[in-house]
Structure 1
Amino acid sequence: MFFVKNEESVLHVDGSHQLLENTRLCSGFYSPGSPIQIHISITLDQVSPFALGKTWRHFQSRGFAPEVCSFRIEELKVLFSQESDVDGYEVPSPNSETQYVADAAEVPHDREIERSASVPVKLFPQNLKDRCVSIKDFVVLGSERENACGPPETSDKNENRPDSRPGSPISLRPQEQQLDRSISSSPGLVRLGSDVSVLNGSIDDLESKVMPSAAGAGAAGAVADRLLGPKERRRLAIVLVGLPARGKTFTAAKLTRYLRWLGHDTKHFNVGKYRRLKHGCTQNADFFRSDNQEGIDARNEVAALAMDDMLSWMDEGGQVGVFDATNSTKLRRKMLLTMAEGKCQVIFLETICKDPAVIDQNIRLKIRKSPDYADQPDYEAALADFKARLVNYSKAYEPVDEGSYIKMIDMVSEQDGQMQVNNISGYLPGRIVFFLVNTHLTPRPILLTRHGESMFNLNGRIGGDPELSATGDIYATKLASFVHKRLKSQHSASIWTSTLRRTILTATHITGFPKVQWRALDEIDAGICDGMTYEEIKETMPDEYQSRKLDKLRYRYPRGESYLDVIQRLEPVIVELERQRSPVVVVAHQAILRSLYAYFTDKPLDEIPHIEMPLHTIIEIQMGVPGVQEKRYKLL
């Protein structure tokens, strides 16, 4: 039995009744359970009490606090479409647990963080200085450091650089900044070469590589230098700005994952993590008042410690630091700019959200997941405290209008979101802007699966364009049945395949959804080894076999590709997956899916060639504000 009520009336609903009134925010009670609150539009699909009950149990099983669950309608539609017979195929997943996003940020060098920090002494009163072992005066580095961290050399004329100069900010709307390779067309193969100008060094440097002198080894070294070495001669700090519950940490984590996947040495520094280690998790809203000078000094102290850690890491070779905090006043941002002077370029990334429903959803997620409220059993008390904290921050908030900055304004919205860019130039900052303008928070599943077993799989041969085996044909039929059950109400979902026959045949029985063939999803090019077995390669080309064995990530098949090449050509696919607001089924190949899976799960590059990607298994990646969740289904 399920009861739904709004401000004016109470409706009694069971399996034989229909809701006749439009209700935007409903609250109900599923006997014998706990109260729930749901954002729901009755004009959409009819929802049975059994589906609501199953959704409630689904969230309980994944560790959500039972006091309150709040969802947007997109989340409900995804969850209601899950059928019990589909769940019957589920198998254990290596990444089934969802970690609080801030917990994945960089751990302070010293967990007590009672140490020196390179910050201006005048920012802190005497009573605060006494808390640290010592605080040294800030010293601006000389010309030698500035030369080492100066702007990159003149770039190749083919390099894609945004033409942004100081002055009026540029406003970009997501719908105007879509990929050339849209969902309606099949993109061509993306070739390397657009960023050759940023490669500093020569092919002679490859002699120091440890791989044998095989045909594929030298080229692999060049790609490794290009991807894993610094792409610009300046280090970059992305400093988040925004009120609490505006998606800063979510954005910081997603950007960090993207840059790491591309090969940039990137780390996420969360100041809240430093604050909890330094001062504990028990500060109430008064700690964040704008007239509480001791609280301001304490927060500035941990921000300086985090910044000091980030700059020290950059001195050791780090390239991009993502500095995650509110940074809501000009004084705080000036402190950070002073610390970074002569050491790295700073770009402020401000997240602005004016949608009350989105803010409310983020607040509830924060209370359920944040360590700040882990020891608070009273949900309503925690909610009141966090809202008071938010009010305190709002009173002192000063929007960014200084330096280089990116403003993300209501980017959750599909129609009204926009981005403002000011004084942004360079290869990597331009790449970051393009990625951010295509991201959003809308939850949706992405299903990854290899093609069905092929004739080459039976013979142990690599590459080629073979047809499916008899077992592969059976999997194609089962996959179609699974997709129709899993996504039956998701009419805007799409099916992506490579241009090779084995993926096209695997998806041939899936009907009712648009299909897109991407050349970028084709299997890694084995070059002259295409169609051979590894035993044949070992016998006829022992140097190549040994080179690949020593470094599968960087090894490039003669006249073929390496895993790093594959990552480069998959970047448009990743950006398009981030841009999609509907479910996507990707039917591809082992090396391709290893690379895509590594992006979503933030796996180190060196692990990509060794990720298990079994045949006849579906990996469901659920993307949304809580993070990335994974489920696996074994069909054969």
Structure 2
Amino acid sequence: MPGAILNHGPTSTKDLGRKRAQSQASDLAKLVMSSNLPPPSTAASSTASSPKISADGENNSQPIKHVDGLLPPPALANGSLATALNSLGEIIKRDRIAFDSPFALSNASTAPGSPRIPPVRQNSGTQTPRVRPHATTLNIPGMTRSKVSPDGRIAPRDVAAKLVIIMVGLPARGKSYLTKKIQRYLSWQQHNSRIFNVGNRRRIAAGVIHKPSSPHQLKKTETPEHTAATILLNGGHDKPDIDEPTKLDLDDTTQGNGEPIDQSAKFFDPNNEEAAKLREQVAIDTLDELLDYLLLQGGAVGILDATNSTVHRRQLIVEHVKAREPKLGILFIESICHDENLLEANMRLKLSGPDYRDKDPVKSLADFKARVKAYESAYVPLGEWEEKNDLQYIQMIDVGRKIVNHRLTGFLSGGIASYLTTFNLSPRQIWITRHGMSVDNQQLKLGGDSDLTEQGHYYGLALHRFITHKRKEWLVNQKNKIARATFPPQRGDHTPPYPELNKELDEKNFCVWTSMLKRSVQTAEYFDADDDYDVKAWEMLNELNAGIFEGMTYEQIAANYPEEYEKRRKDKLSYIYPGLGGEGYLQVISRLKDMVREIERITDHLLIIGHRSVCRVLMAYFMDLTRDDIADLDVPLGMLFAIEPKPYGIDFHAYQYDEENLWFTEVPNYKPQKTVNINN
């Protein structure tokens, strides 16, 4: 039996090869027939004629060459396999489809020198897809990547993933507060976003505020509505609160004699046709600027901050957006307030704003309440019209005590809705500092998990003493503010109280969060020994992982890996350290997203003992830093930062460690700066 097999081996092998070829030809022929092509012509040479579609759509017959390893050898040129393969070549050439056949692979050459033809970017549809018809999946800068979006941001062609946010609500309902929080959160995640405030442009149009000659001429106004810390980073500029109007002419919006238009409650009466026409024109002009930002300037989210309290106005806005670009996403966000304390705080804020600044507070309050009544007479909350037209919306009631979502689509809308659930206006302090001096710090090494030095342990002691003192001091000051508060406020009183009864000030907890690295945990050892503090270690607070550079100095990296050193120097924000586990700042932002939501949610005081990259990223969120400043923010050892959320923004203070006295001294008028050391 073995001999018989050996004697007939060659013949059997030949028969198997023939059967295999016939089977392949049959399958390929079926594929050709299913494509509805005309019957293929037999080819006796190594080329076949195939239609070629030119740029203008005309068909030009051009020969296609057989690719080594993919088409049959000349010996089989007249067989059925050759016919099928040549027809298959016509399909590939004509329709430009990618075909990866197991039969082609079985005939492919395995020689090391076999050519590989990379795919050419093409359009498999009937038209060039200039925009995507639906919102795509997640775009996370630093965590996702594609050819059209190498950095992970929303690509210009993904118009449906972009978002027009339209705020809705009566005056003094916290709409501007919400817009600033949403914009800050989206920008921190590296999505290009901008607020377009109709009220600011209305004031310019009505002559209440003079039109600036350039976007940078008008600086932040020093009112509670805009007293969040101003960031100047080595030559940076204050962000103007009012963008230069591009459609309105100030001369056309005065009363003929050059006097500004009356901005009292009568101006907002729905029966005042002239004023209504002006307000509608300002709203549409502002919307046009927003659409230009999204469609022409690379924006991802534009927020239209206005009352938009009638169905007519909202319908007008939707039609205007759809006429410009029907695939843009539209999200309505309505702020509703029933809480009297919340309304009082918001009204106090309005009384010290640009419409009533330096005016009698009692008269101003009466006028403002009349303005609200004018809006209420025509106000229609979100609901029936939006649902009938299948529009997505979020209703936020009493700053997150109740949230209603309808028809949310797209990752941005879902993320915003989730973020809004974390809001609270509880009075509290958030402290941020780096750990004490570690052994690796002394040796200028990156990363690692070394212990604190003796100096570092003393820093932890001083930190516990100082925070305990400031905690008691804050409680006394808060109670004094509540006792002195009056409504309407006295002239010059620009600090509205928190919109809460503050019944739990004495019982307010104090959390201390550290990373899981020893130098951070050890800095909190005195807090951990004090039952008045709740200490917890978080892995997401760990220092940025330097990959293969862990334990090295920057001088060693520059000497041994000059190309990597230069890449990091040119773009620290996007740079990722090479090697297993290596991270960059965008990765740190991504892993701290849930932590930021938790910081916003809790009502307790909080101290975070982190690391340089972590502190930079958290400071960037609270201080609304641009992406160009995050990775270069100067956060040296020994600095302690205090952030106190307010209904209008934040109060910010910085303290420097006094090693000799084991204490901290406040740095007056501190402004975050860029680090002077390019290695840090």
Task: State the TM-score, normalized to the length of structure 2.
Answer: 0.61
CA contact (8 A) 2:132 2:157 kept: no
Are 1:286 and 2:270 counterparts?
no
The change in CA–CA distance for 1:574 and 1:275 in structure 2 (over 3 A counts) is same
Could you tell me how far apart the structure 2 residues matched to 1:474 and 1:506 are?
Answer: 9
What is the letter of the counterpart of residue 151 of structure 1? Answer: H
Aligned twin of 1:309? 289
Deviation at 1:491, TM superposition (A): 4.1
In the alignment, what sits opposite 1:399?
381
SS at match of 1:347: strand
> Do the aligned residues in 2 keep the contact of 1:490 with 1:583 (CA within 8 Å)?
no
Aligned counterpart in structure 2 of residue 578 of structure 1, from 590, 594, 600: 600
Residue number among 317, 320, 323 corresponding to 2:301 in the alignment: 320
Q: Partner of 1:545: helix, strand, or coil? A: helix
Matched, 1:260 2:260: no
Letter in 2 for 1:406: I
Aligned length: 431
Other structure's SS at 2:308 match: coil
Letter in 1 for 2:339: D
Structure 1 residue 384, shift from structure 2 partner: 1.1
Query: For 2:429, what is the secondary structure of its paired residue?
Result: strand
Residue 457 of structure 1 and its aligned partner are, at CA, apart by: 1.2
Whether the aligned pair in 2 keeps the contact of 1:554 and 1:564 (CA below 8 Å) is yes
Which whole-Å CA distance do the structure 2 matches of 1:471 and 1:279 have between them? 61
Shift in alpha-carbon separation, 1:425–1:194, aligned structure 2, 3 A: farther
Once residues 345 and 141 of structure 2 are traced to their aligned partners in structure 1, the CA distance between those partners, rounded to angstroms, is 43
Q: Counterparts in 2 of 1:6-405, with a 5 A limit?
A: 148=131, 150-153=133-136, 155=137, 196=144, 199-201=145-147, 222=150, 225-227=151-153, 229=155, 232-234=158-160, 235-281=162-208, 282-316=262-296, 317-341=298-322, 342-343=325-326, 344-368=328-352, 370-374=353-357, 376-401=358-383, 402=386, 403-405=391-393
User: In 2 relative to 1, CA 543–200 (structure 1 residues): closer, same or farther, beyond 3 Å?
Assistant: closer
- Aligned CA RMSD, in angstroms, stands at 2.2
Q: Is the 8 A contact 1:256 1:267 kept in 2?
A: yes
User: Is the contact between residue 142 and residue 574 of structure 2 (CA under 8 Å) also seen in structure 1?
Assistant: no
Amino acid at match of 1:226: G
Following TM superposition, by how much is the alpha carbon of 1:490 offset from its aligned partner in structure 2, in angstroms? 5.8
Deviation at 1:377, TM superposition (A): 2.8
1:544-573 deviation digits (Å, cap 9, x = unpaired): 111111111111101200111111111011
Q: Tell me the residue number matched to 1:608.
A: 630
Letter in 1 for 2:305: D
Tell me: CA distance 1:385–1:622, structure 2 relative to 1, closer, same or farther (3 Å).
Answer: same
Structure 1 residue 418, shift from structure 2 partner = 1.1
Q: 1:1-47 CA deviation, whole Å, 9 max, x = no partner?
A: xxxxxxxxxxxxxxxxxxxxxxxxxxxxxxxxxxxxxxxxxxxxxxx
Change (3 A) 1:232 1:621: farther
Unaligned stretches of 5+ residues in structure 2: 1-125, 209-261, 473-505, 659-680
Say if 1:257 and 1:599, in contact at 8 Å, map to a contact too.
yes
SS of the counterpart of 1:148? coil
Pair 1:590 & 2:612 matched = yes
In structure 2, the partner of 1:46 is: none
Distance 1:144 1:278, change over 3 A: farther
Aligned-partner Cα distance in 2 for 1:327–1:442: 28
Partner of 1:456: 440
Does the residue aligned with 1:371 lie in a helix, a strand or coil?
coil
Query: Structure 1 312/390 Cα, relative in aligned 2: closer, same or farther at 3 Å?
Result: same
Higher relative contact order (CA 8 A, sep 6+): 1
Match of 1:424 in 2: 408
Q: 1:411 aligns with which of 380, 390, 399?
A: 399
Counting aligned pairs with the same residue, the percent is: 36
State whether residues 174 and 335 of structure 2, in contact with CA within 8 Å, keep that contact through their aligned partners in structure 1: yes
Greater than 3 Å deviation, 4+ residue runs = 143-147, 192-196, 227-233, 488-491
The answer (yes or no) to whether the contact 1:452–1:503 under 8 Å persists in 2 is yes
Q: 2:636 is paired with a residue of what secondary structure?
A: coil
Structure 1 CA distance for aligned equivalents of residues 178 and 304 of structure 2: 11
Alignment partner of 1:514 is 2:498 = no
Alignment partners' CA distance in 2, 1:434 and 1:230: 25
Give the Cα–Cα distance (whole angstroms) in 2 for the partners of residues 331 and 365 of structure 1: 29
| Deviation for aligned residue 1:390 | 0.9
Aligned-residue offset at 1:411: 2.6
Identify unmatched segments of 5+ residues in structure 1. 1-142, 161-191, 206-221
Q: Distance in 2 between matches of 1:558 and 1:386?
A: 59
**1:152 alignment partner, SS class:** coil
Checking the alignment, whether the CA contact within 8 Å between 2:141 and 2:153 is kept in structure 1 is no
SS in 2 for 1:487: helix
SS in 2 for 1:405: strand
In structure 2, the residue matched to 1:184 is none
Aligned twin of 1:168: none
- Which residue type is aligned with residue 306 of structure 1? T
Tell me how far apart the structure 2 counterparts of residues 635 and 359 of structure 1 sit (CA, whole Å). Answer: 41
Q: TM-score normalised to the size of structure 1?
A: 0.65
Shift of 1:144: 9.1
Q: Distance in 2 between matches of 1:602 and 1:418?
A: 27
AA matched with 1:482: F
**Residues 550-561 of structure 1 mapped to structure 2, 5 A cutoff:** 550-559=570-579, 560-561=582-583
Q: Is the 8 A contact 1:440 1:579 kept in 2?
A: yes
Distance in 2 (CA, whole Å) between partners of 1:195 and 1:605 is 16
Distance 1:406 1:568 in 2: 24
1:452 touches 1:473 (CA, 8 Å); kept in 2? yes
